[in-house]
Each structure stands twice: as C-alpha cells, then as structure tokens.
C-alpha cells in the first residue's frame, strides 16, 4: 500500500525474486518488508527510483539493522547508479569487512551520511538469504530529488558551455560574449566572420581571438579587394597553430587562399605557409574550424604592389596585337588586345601577365619535421629539408642520415634527388579524444575506445610455480616492436629474492583493447624477448622497469599508437614529472584491494572496460615522509615519485601495474605504475609510487637499438 509520495510499506506475503518497485515522485520513503518487525527470508527486491532530468537523488537511511556477515555475503542492501556501486551495506556497526550507511549510534539505529546519485536515477537492491540467527528489523530510507548545478558539476572534461553557463532548477542554458552567437547545439559560441571585406592597400588579418584559441564551429570568409592593376601579397606570421591530423590532410580545421581562379591549401598544423604572391587584386581567405580543439590560430600581413608585365615578343596584325611573356622560372602567358578597324589602337594593359610557379606545401612525412631553407617560400627553386624526430627507429628512405631534402620543380611539383620519400613510423603520443589536463579534475572513470592507444594488456603465466600462477598487467607501446612495463610484472616470484624473468612464450600481449573480456578479438602478439633492468631490486621495487620485444611488429591504427619517451634532460632542468602537475593513468585494475589470504598472488582484472584517473604529482618530500611514517622498510629513491591525493579516493590499484603515467599534449610516459601500500589503494595519504622513466631514457634507447 502507498502512504504519501513515494512511501512504500510492504506486507509479509511472499514477493517474487527479482521484483522491481518503481518510484517516480520527487521525494519519498522505502522500508524493508514487515518493518519494524523482522524482515522475511530469501528476498530479492529492487527499488528503481527515477526523478526528472536535471536532478539527482539524495538517499538517507534513518534506520539500518541487518544480519552481519563477512563482506556482506548473507543479507545486504546494495545502492547503485549509472552502473556504479555507491555502497554495499550489512550489519548494524561498521567493521573491517562490513559497512553500514553512516555512523551507528546504537545497535538498531543509525545517523547516516547521505548517498548522492550522479544523475536522475538510483537503484536499491535488498537481498536476504534463507536463514537468520537473530531478529533483524531491517531498514528505513528516505530519498529526495536535488537540483544539479550543471554549470559546476560535470561527469566529463568537456566544458558545458563555451562562454557562460546559467543554472536554473531542473536545467541550465548557455550564453556568449558580445560579438558571438550561440550555435544550434545551444552550447558552442561561434563568431560572425563572413563577408568581411578589406579594401585598404595593406592590413592585418587573423583568426578570431588570435593569439588566443580560436572559436569552434566557425566558417570565416575574409575578402581582400584592392584597385585593379595591383596584386596582393600575403605574409603569414611564423606563429601558426591550426588543428591537424597525422595521417590525413587537414580534416578538422584549415586555412585556404582563393585567388585568380586557383585555390591554395588547405593549410594546417604548426608550419606557416610563409609568403604567397597571389598575382591578383582580389583574394578570398577561408578559415574553417570544427567543434573541438584548443589551437592558437594564425595571422597574416597583406600588402599590394603595382603590376609591371614584361614583354618578350609582340606580334601585330590588322586587328589584334599579341604579347607573349616567358621566363625560365615562370609560366608562359599570352595577353591579347582586340582592335576593330578603322578605329585607332588604344590599350591600357592592367592584366597580370607573369605568374611564378608555386608548388604549394611540400608533402608531409609522418614523424618528420619540415624545415624551409628559403624563408618559407614554395616557389620554383625553393628547397625544404625533412628531419626525423628524435625518436628511435626513424629513417627516411632517401638517405642513411636523419635528414633529406626536396626541391620545387618547374612542373609545380616537389622532387627529391634520391628515391621517393616514404612514410616512417606513426607519430607518438597522439590521441584525439584524450581529455585536456588543464580542465576540471575528476575521479576514475571509463575511457573511450582509442583514448589511450598506447595501452597494452599483458597476460602472464608462471608455469615454474606449483600450482601454476596467472596474472595480468599493463604496458605502454613505445614503437611497433617494443613495449615498456614494470619489472615486477614480468618477474617470477621467488622466496630467495632472486630475479628470474618469465619465459617469453608464456606472455601474451593484447593491443588496442578496450573491453578486457573481448581481448581475444584485439590485435595479439607473442613476445620475442624479455629485458628486465639489470639493477631491479624486488625487495624494494627499485629500478622497477622492463622492456618487451614483440616477435612481429604491431599494426598501428587509430586505437594502436606509441607513446613518447621523455625528452633529453639538461642538468638545469627540473626532474620530470614536476610536483603538483597532473598526469593520467589507465588500467583494468581493482577498485578495492582484496584480502591477500583469499586471493594469493598477483591480482586479477576486475574492471571489464578500461578505466582512467587523473592524479597530481606529490612533492618528493611528502612522498618520502608519508612512507617513512609507516615503516623504515619503505624506501623512496630518487628513481621513484608519488602521485595521488592526501584524502584518498583516487588511485591506481593491483592490475594497473606497468601502465603509463602520462603527461603533456604530445603524450609522454613519465612514470610507470610500480607499487603502493600498505593500506588499500585509494586510502588516505597512501600515494601510488611510480618509476621515474626519465632516469632510464638512455637504457631504454640503448636496449631498443641493440
């Protein structure tokens, strides 16, 4: 029967197992069957609470008295929302293995801390077993809908509104700064930059907000129209930052120049187009941006000069005069003036007659930098140099060295004196969907597919042990054939402390994995060699770093890509990572550490989907002090660093070992998940400890080279 909004009182008759009770009021109460009398046995009831969108649900328990059991195996109340477990409760007093929804003041009542759902739905499951040793009176709970301030609380890293966010009860709306208009998506602010005409003989044109980030979802048209008989010259500023893609030509944002019936571009990336002689008095500059990215933009200075055509040959007949203009470095054009007899010939030649050959941007080469050797010019005779990035295993096919040159030809194409340039290894540290570190910090959450393309899942079997042991770990793809991980993931446990690596044939490598249960559908590789650091000390995890060489090269894709190594460090540089900076760690590890007595050996995977968490780097002094206060056996060396929160709640756990602690926009592995303890992961002032990769850069490169 119902008493008021959302109040459910259930009689003692038998309820079918799995029965679902739906509540949709904005507030209400719920109780265990027969409350306050003892609840029945063998129950399986679910309360499904759903309120209006724009609200979340607060749940308070005013009474809680269930049968106690180890890890709540017998009777329990489970609270879930959006697939996330908010609490598992049993008993009447909290213990090491049991939790109650709040601090208990007596054996039959509690003053509970509220539970908050992240969205507008909440699920409460009440299950009892077939026997009770005592009279347990059950529980009473109350729920209310609370308005969500969407402008402050977000479940992801993307800004809710580009400029201004305004909250109201049950929702929100966005607005824009003066000069902008709201996009039809009601969140993005776009700028009006179409049909903008420049008629002066010189001026400056730039992307909106330059040198700040340009707006999203914009299509700008800038028209330069000067007096007929003049030609426009464009000079792009050296600061040029337009979102690009390593494998496609400007698919997201771009700049185009349209002049004299030809289109130059698209231009994007970080290399400015340089100088462009348009040979026309009318020039259109087009700029497009998509709905994502944070790039600086571009700026150009335009000037005008009068035309001075050169005459090489002149042929005249009774009705027409033809002028032909040629040059060894220029295309040939013909200009004809038509005259009608018997009228006298009179002509003012203002049409441009000479046009330099422009080859456009040189072809991009993946993981190579383009260096202009002629002041960013792309006209005939210009020369550019390709230089490989300072990463192992990169070579251009035209030379044994790390550089190669190309020349612009009279046929409007680029050519190389050597063989044709080929693509080399795909760029490292690239992930289009990875969240920016400068935005709001969130706790651990599920990663999108391809967000961490360097993440590798390792399945290890130790067949030298009786019984045989199996465990999982993580790693980071450094190249098509090398994986970086922690040494302890690949070491066979020995009581005498000796370092014995796992046999390579007993290690499976899975690449591009998002769901661990579907790992066998992902790209798989067997291991050709296991290289543990020669100074690895298993008793204190010092030098906890190792490399795996794959027996065959990985096939790179959008979901399989290498991560970058830290740059070469100068003695005056601060150590990487710097204190208080943020990093990102991903893995399939545990959210609650199991009891070692029940789960001997390394931990299994408990998260099906890849999870990630953002963590701040802890100052080295605090890192050392936090572990020294626990035991002298915990030794934090200079080759280690800590990350996490002093209040706990967010951390890496067993099963994440060997994964990357990544930083920067060109994502770099600055740390490797190593160890933590002695309390559960995520406990207060229990920081995760990571191997400082910067200290091992030379060892990594030398090992990969050998």
Residue-wise pLDDT for 42-91, tens only, equals: 899 999 999 998 899 999 999 999 999 899 999 999 999 998 999 999 99
For the chain, domain boundaries: 19-147, 359-425, 452-562
pTM over 0.85: no
Residue 599 has pLDDT above 70, yes or no: no
Binding residues: 67, 75, 129, 131, 147-148, 150, 167, 171, 243, 253, 290, 292
Q: Is the pLDDT of residue 331 over 50?
A: no
| Distance in angstroms (rounded) separating the CA atoms of residues 246 and 282 | 33
Distance of alpha carbon 277 from alpha carbon 300, whole angstroms: 13
Q: What is the pLDDT of residue 655?
A: 60
Of residues 355 and 577, the one with the higher pLDDT is 577
542, pLDDT greater than 90? yes
Predicted local confidence at residue 677, as pLDDT: 73
Percent over 70 (pLDDT), the chain: 73
List residues forming the annotated binding site for Ca(2+).
Answer: 67, 75, 129, 131, 147-148, 150, 167, 171, 243, 253, 290, 292
- What distance in Å separates the CA atoms of residue 234 and residue 299, rounded to the nearest whole number? 10
Output 593 or 463, whichever has higher pLDDT: 463
Going by pLDDT thresholds of 50, 70 and 90, the confidence category of residue 190 is: confident
Which carries the bigger pLDDT value, residue 282 or residue 593? 282
Largest Cα separation within the chain, whole Å, is 124
Report the alpha-carbon distance of residue 443 to residue 68 in Å, rounded.
31
Task: Report CA 320 to chain centroid distance, whole Å.
Answer: 66
The pLDDT score that the predictor gives to residue 686 is: 79
Q: Is the pLDDT of residue 534 over 80?
A: yes
Distance from the first to the final alpha carbon of the chain: 77
Residue 367 has a pLDDT of: 55
Higher-confidence position of 192 and 120: 120
Higher pLDDT residue, 4 or 652? 652
Q: Which of 308-322, 489-503, 531-545 has the lowest mean pLDDT?
A: 308-322
**Res 598 pLDDT > 50:** no
Closest CA to 411 of 356, 333, 359: 359
Residue 604 has pLDDT above 80, yes or no: no
pLDDT of 38 above 80: yes
Residue 545 pLDDT > 50, yes or no?
yes
**pLDDT tens digits along 431-444:** 756 554 433 334 56
- Average of per-residue pLDDT across 606-614: 85
Residue 652 has a pLDDT of 62
Mean pLDDT of 624-646: 85
What average pLDDT is seen over the chain? 79
Distance between CA 694 and CA 545 in Å, rounded? 11
pLDDT tier, 405 (very low <50, low <70, confident <90, very high otherwise)? low
pLDDT (average), residues 14-21: 79
176-185, 281-290, 537-546: range with lowest mean pLDDT: 176-185
- Which member of 325, 488, 506, 543 is catalytic? 488
What pLDDT score was predicted for residue 669? 96
- 117 pLDDT more than 90: yes
> Could you confirm whether 657 is annotated as catalytic?
yes
pLDDT at 600: 38
Assign 220 a pLDDT band (cuts: 50, 70, 90): very high
Q: How far apart are CA 395 and CA 294, in angstroms?
A: 31
More confident residue, 537 or 10: 537
User: If residue 628 lies in a helix (H) or strand (E), which one and from where to where?
Assistant: helix 620-628
147 bridge partner residues: 55
Query: CA 695: distance to chain centroid?
Result: 25
Is 533 an active-site residue?
no
Q: Is 305 a residue whose pLDDT tops 50?
A: yes
Best mean pLDDT range from 285-289, 325-329, 414-418: 285-289
Whole-angstrom distance, CA of residue 392 vs CA of residue 674: 25
Q: Which two tokens stand for residue 658?
A: 């060997």
- DSSP category for residue 649: S
Query: 337-345 long-range contacts, Cβ below 8 Å, gap at least 24?
Result: 345/321
Q: What integer pLDDT is reported at residue 435 of this predicted model? A: 54
Say which residue, 530 or 461, is predicted with more confidence.
530
Q: Which CATH class is domain 359-425?
A: mainly beta
Count other Cβ atoms within 10 Å, centred on residue 647: 10
Q: Return the pLDDT at 356.
A: 58
Residue 700 CA to chain centroid, in angstroms?
25
How confident is the model over 187-208, as a mean pLDDT? 89
Lowest mean pLDDT segment, chosen from 182-196, 257-271, 301-315, 545-559:
301-315
Q: Which of 174, 258, 271 is nearest to 216 (CA)?
A: 174
What is the predicted pLDDT for the residue at 111?
43
Q: Give the CATH number of domain 452-562; options: 1.10.10.10, 3.40.1380.10, 1.20.1260.10, 2.40.10.10.
A: 2.40.10.10
- What is the arithmetic mean of pLDDT over 271-297? 91
Please confirm, yes or no, whether 639 is among the known catalytic residues. no
Q: Does domain 19-147 have CATH number 3.20.20.10?
A: no
Top mean pLDDT of 99-113, 453-467, 504-518 is at: 504-518
143 band by pLDDT with thresholds 50, 70 and 90:
very high
Among candidate residues 278, 283, 284, 286, the one with its CA nearest the CA of residue 254: 286
Instruction: Give me the pLDDT at residue 137, please.
Output: 92
Q: Is it the case that residue 614 has pLDDT exceeding 60?
A: yes
d(CA 76, CA 89): 5
Q: How many CB atoms lie within 10 A of CB 470?
A: 15
pLDDT of residue 260: 86
How sure is the predictor about 705, in pLDDT bands with cuts at 50, 70 and 90?
confident
From the list 112, 299, 476, 657, the catalytic residue is: 657
Tokens coding 597:
């007595």
Which one of the listed residues 60, 241, 544, 651 is annotated catalytic?
Answer: 544
């Amino acid at each position: 029967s119902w008493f008021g909004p959302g109040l459910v009182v259930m009689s003692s008759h038998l309820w079918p197992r799995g029965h679902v009770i739906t509540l949709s009021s904005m507030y209400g109460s719920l109780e265990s069957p027969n409350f306050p009398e003892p609840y029945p046995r063998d129950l399986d009831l679910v309360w499904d609470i759903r309120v209006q969108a724009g609200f979340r649900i607060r749940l308070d328990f005013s009474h809680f008295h269930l049968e106690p059991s180890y890890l709540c195996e017998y009777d329990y109340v489970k609270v879930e929302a959006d697939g996330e477990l908010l609490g598992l409760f049993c008993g009447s007093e909290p213990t090491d293995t049991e939790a109650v929804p709040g601090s208990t003041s007596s054996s039959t009542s509690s003053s509970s801390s509220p539970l908050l759902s992240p969205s507008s739905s909440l699920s409460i499951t009440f299950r009892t077993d077939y026997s009770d040793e005592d009279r347990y009176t059950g529980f009473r709970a109350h729920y209310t809908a609370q308005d969500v301030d969407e402008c402050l609380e977000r479940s992801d890293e993307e800004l809710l509104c580009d400029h201004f966010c305004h909250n109201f009860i049950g929702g929100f709306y966005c607005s824009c700064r003066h000069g902008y208009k709201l996009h039809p998506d009601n969140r993005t602010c776009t700028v009006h930059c179409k049909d903008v005409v420049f008629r002066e003989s010189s001026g400056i044109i730039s992307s909106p907000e330059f040198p700040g980030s340009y707006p999203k979802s914009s299509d700008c048209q800038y028209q330069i129209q000067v007096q007929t008989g003049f030609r426009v010259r464009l000079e792009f500023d050296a600061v040029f930052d337009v979102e690009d893609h390593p494998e496609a030509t400007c698919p997201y944002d771009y700049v185009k120049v349209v002049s004299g019936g030809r289109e130059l571009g698209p231009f994007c990336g970080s290399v400015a187009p340089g100088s462009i002689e348009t040979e026309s008095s009318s020039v259109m500059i087009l700029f497009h941006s998509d709905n994502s990215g944070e790039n600086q933009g571009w700026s150009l200075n335009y000037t005008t000069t009068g035309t001075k055509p050169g005459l090489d040959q002149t042929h005249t007949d009774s009705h027409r005069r033809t002028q032909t203009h040629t040059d060894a470095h220029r295309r040939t054009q013909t200009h004809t003036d038509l005259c009608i007899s018997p009228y006298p010939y009179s002509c003012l030649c203002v049409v441009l007659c000479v046009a330099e050959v422009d080859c456009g941007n040189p072809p991009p080469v993946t993981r190579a930098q383009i260096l202009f050797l002629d002041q960013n010019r792309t006209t005939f005779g210009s020369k550019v140099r390709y230089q490989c990035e300072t990463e192992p295993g990169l070579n251009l096919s035209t030379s044994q060295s790390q550089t190669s040159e190309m020349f612009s030809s009279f046929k409007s194409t680029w050519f190389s004196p050597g063989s044709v340039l080929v693509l080399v290894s795909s760029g490292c540290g690239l992930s289009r969907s990875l969240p920016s570190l400068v935005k709001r910090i969130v706790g651990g959450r599920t990663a999108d597919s391809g967000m961490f393309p360097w993440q590798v899942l390792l399945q290890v079997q130790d067949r030298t042990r009786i019984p045989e042991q199996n465990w999982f770990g993580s790693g980071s793809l450094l190249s098509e054939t090398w994986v970086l991980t922690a040494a302890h993931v690949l070491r066979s446990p020995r009581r005498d402390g000796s370092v014995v690596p796992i046999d390579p044939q007993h290690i499976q490598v899975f690449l591009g994995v998002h769901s661990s249960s579907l790992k066998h559908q992902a790209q798989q590789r067997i291991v050709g060699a296991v290289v543990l650091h020669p100074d690895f000390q298993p008793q204190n995890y010092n030098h906890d770093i190792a490399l795996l060489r794959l027996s065959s090269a990985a096939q790179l894709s959008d979901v399989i890509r290498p991560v970058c190594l830290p740059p070469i460090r100068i003695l005056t540089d601060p150590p990487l990572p710097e204190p208080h900076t943020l990093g990102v760690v991903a893995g399939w590890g545990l959210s609650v550490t199991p009891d070692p007595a029940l789960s001997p050996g390394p931990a299994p995977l408990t998260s099906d989907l890849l999870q990630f968490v953002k963590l701040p780097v802890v100052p080295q002094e605090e890192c050392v002090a936090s572990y020294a206060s626990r035991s002298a056996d915990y030794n934090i060396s200079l080759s280690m660093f800590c990350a996490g929160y002093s209040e706990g709640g967010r951390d890496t756990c067993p099963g994440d070992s060997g994964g990357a602690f990544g930083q920067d926009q060109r994502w770099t592995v600055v740390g490797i998940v190593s160890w933590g303890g002695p309390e559960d992961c995520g406990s207060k002032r229990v920081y995760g400890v990571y191997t400082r990769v910067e200290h091992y850069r030379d060892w990594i490169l030398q090992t990969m080279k050998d």
